[in-house]
Amino acid sequence: MIRPLRGANALLTGGSQGLGPLMARHLAEAGVNLALSARSVDKLEAVAQSLRSAGNRVVVVPADVTNGADRVRLLTHTERVLGPIDILINNAGMENNGRYQDKSPAEITQLVDLNVTAPMLLTRAVLPAMLERRRGHIVNLGSLAGKLGLPWGSVYGGTKAAVIAWSNALSIELEGTGVSVSVISPGWVADTGMFAVHGRRAHPLLGESKPEAVARAVVRALETGAPEIVVNPLPFGPMQALNALAPGVVRWAMNAVGMNRFLRETYVKPR
């Protein structure tokens, strides 16, 4: 955990759209200094300007986090302008759902690079300084798709399963070092974020996570050091727990209530 949050320095990837600006606003309201990163300069500047008006220190660092040189430049510039990085929030990510056999090797690699490899390597880069200062917190964005494999979202769910497993393991490894790791696992996020492009409300069995609730969970993780926060209403949370004990029952239920059909209609383009 990071106490006090006021005055801490945070690097937030994926800060230009979706959940990123909401997370940035909640962090700014807690008094956190921010480095916002994404590939879109104009969108980043707009977010930063809205936060600076409240008197916060905010720096914009455009970068492609899947590019090694960009990652080095991102960290170097952030530390030069803000100082030591106390908080890293690995929010940048993407989905690319549909029939697995229709995904090209390049599409699969792109998804793994952005959702898994980039946060792992950014974390590896900031960790030595955090450990030396005995102060730091890594927040990773998981998904309930990583806890319960959803059809026509196998690659995305696989990347989020990797993020959740890695985050939980690293959290245990770093106990007693002064550095904490949290993973935030929302479900189908309503109104904004990557699922909003589909223009559909979630299936009742999936439930919807409110964007503000996800942003608040990030701040709560920093304040409490919670290793994982699931942001989703009933019934999907208990369903993924049941899946660990009786996956056949959950698979039957998903099909029986039409959730698989909903996902196919949402993610699969007609041929």
Catalytic residues: 156
For 250, the token pair is 């959950």
Per DSSP, the three-state class of 254 is: helix
Residue type, 92: A
For 268, the token pair is 């699969």
Nearest to 20 by CA among 103, 114, 100, 90: 90
Distance between CA atoms of residues 137 and 220, nearest Å: 12
Per DSSP, the three-state class of 231 is: strand
- According to DSSP H, which parts of the chain are helical? 19-29, 41-52, 68-81, 105-112, 118-133, 154-173, 211-224, 236-245, 247-256, 259-267
User: Which residues are paired to 138 by β-bridges?
Assistant: 88, 181
Distance between CA atoms of residues 100 and 155, nearest Å: 7
Instruction: For residue 6, give Cα distances in angstroms to 15, 31, 33, 62, 217.
Output: 19, 4, 8, 24, 17
Helices and strands, number each (H, E), in the chain: 10, 9
Q: Is 55 left (phi over 0), alpha (psi -120 to 50) or beta?
A: left
